[in-house]
Amino acid sequence: MPQRFAGFCDPLCLRFSWPLVEPFAERHVQRRFDEEEEARLCGEELNLAVADTVDSGLILGGASIYDVDLGQARAAIGYWLAPHARGRGVATRTLRLLARWAFDHIHLARLELTCAPDNVASQRVATRCGFVREGVLRSHVRFKGGRRDSVMFSLLPGELQ
């Protein structure tokens, strides 16, 4: 948990991922862990740590499949990276690996990725992996006491690059 907390305390993670106005605290990580485990047990979400291949104790970030709707064969996919993992292709490799797994093992027909309009790095990662930009979802999510737009990308099984 300490590495995940440190990663989430990074200004970039807080800027794009922390939706609340209140300061981020360790208790939020524990609460999120508990929520993730409950969602996993219900088959609604899968959250994974992204570990370094050389130093398996070093957490590079996390990746998840969430909002799973098996009836529609659709889910959302997302990731975050610690500062020391950025700019090394980790996000691209992680997204490709998890997308391939989702298509091959849970037989999804569509993956969706959303990010903030000013999160240019995530938009580049999505495009590199073959995701297609569908548009902007206006006032899509609650964020820091207000609402935030999201850019919507989608990926179909034959489009993964």
What CATH number corresponds to the domain at position 78? 3.40.630.30
| Nearest-angstrom CA–CA distance, 94 and 78 | 10
Structurally, how many domains does the chain consist of?
A: 1
- Amino acid in the structure at residue 110: R
Chain segment 102-143, per-residue pLDDT in tens:
999 999 999 999 999 999 999 999 999 999 999 999 999 988
Which of 51, 155, 56 lies closest to 94, judged by CA? Answer: 51
Beta 74-81 vs 110-115: how paired, if at all? parallel
Per the structure, the complete domain to which residue 24 belongs is given by 2-159
SS3 state of residue 89: coil
Backbone φ/ψ region at 80: left (φ over 0), alpha (ψ -120 to 50), beta? beta
Chain segment 4-62, per-residue pLDDT in tens:
656 566 666 655 665 555 666 777 667 777 777 787 778 788 988 898 888 767 889 88
- Structure tokens of 153? 């990308």
User: pTM score > 0.95 for this model?
Assistant: no
In this prediction, residues 79-91 reach a mean pLDDT of 91
| β-bridge partners, 79 | 63
SS3 state of residue 114: strand
